[in-house]
Amino acid sequence: MTAKTAAHSLQLVRELNAPADKLYKAWTTPEHMGEWFCPKPWKVTEAKLDVRPGGSNYILMEGPNGEKAPNHGIYLEIVPNRKIVFTDAFTSAWVPSEKPFMTGIIEFEDLGNGRTKYTATAVHWTEEDKKAHEEMGFHEGWGIVADQLEEVAKTF
């Protein structure tokens, strides 16, 4: 990250009681996204993942009152069991989105004994987007998601 993008980033760092390969599997297997990807009572009702650089992803989150939050994006970098970088700046292939919000950087560092340092970074284009993400509950929400991810990864 550069100093400019770092100014607009939010980050969650946790040590999880699950191996990196299983956390990565949860991130890259569509049928498992609904088990952990958003804080309950929200849920993922559809997930399509083409996990490769330039591959598209689509995740539909639905709220308890029928709210729908479709998320389109692409993968920028994939390092199996180590790193996933994705963005909503593009909707598919290299088709720009109407309003890019963030780039996500997910890193898995194997600590041994089935533990992983999990770092989730959201880099925003503007300070306003960063503040909006904080107000949406970034720290609490992404923390809950990390806990759910850890539990799902233990089931593999």
Domains and CATH numbers, the chain: 3-153 (3.30.530.20)
pLDDT one-digit tens code per residue, 13-55: 999 999 999 999 999 999 999 999 999 999 999 999 999 999 9
Residue type at 118? Y
What is the model's pTM? 0.93
3-state SS, residue 96: strand
Give yes or no for a contact between 23 and 147, defined as CB atoms under 8 angstroms apart.
no
**Within 29-114, where are the H helices?**
30-33
Q: Cα(21)–Cα(100) distance, rounded to whole angstroms?
A: 29
Diameter over CA atoms, the chain: 44
pLDDT one-digit tens code per residue, 122-131: 999 999 999 9
Give yes or no for a contact between 15 and 145, defined as CB atoms under 8 angstroms apart.
no
Q: Cα(13)–Cα(66) distance, rounded to whole angstroms?
A: 31
